[in-house]
Amino acid sequence: MKPSPTMHALIIDNFQTATFRTAEIPRPEPTVNQVLVRIKASGVNPLDSKIRTGKAPHAKPVLPAVLGTDLAGVVEAVGQNVTAFKVGDEVYGLTGGVGGLQGSLAEFAAVDPDLLAKNQPTSVCVKQQLYPWWF
């Protein structure tokens, strides 16, 4: 079965209302140096809130934008130059949400593999990876 060319995401259109809307957008394809991650969990931290309201100009989001910096998920595809990950690896780490890069508030993200870690312990759930201080 061929994967859908689209995915669901939360989009922000302006900093004044800072309201998210659900949208169907093109599913990203990893470049030769990226990993495509099916996102299972996305964290929201204080920086994400500042970016959403336009109070983090250093982040330089390009509107409309998919925000979110933290994620946990499963590798769906790898670029031809990526050797550290394979399809099926469970990963967690960082993605875009800044500088015009797509963030983690979506079903998939094409991610720089240097911003991911794998081989999570089976005794640690996805929520614990994103919020270790909570548990």
Which tens digits make up the pLDDT trace of 41-92?
A: 998 888 888 989 989 888 888 899 999 999 999 999 999 999 999 999 999 9
* pLDDT 10s digits, 101-132: 899 999 999 999 999 998 656 656 666 666 55
DSSP per-residue string spanning 8-32: EEEEE--TTT--EEEEEEEPP---T
d(CA 77, CA 2): 13
Joined tokens for residue 22? 């659900």
| Predicted TM-score (pTM) above 0.95 | no
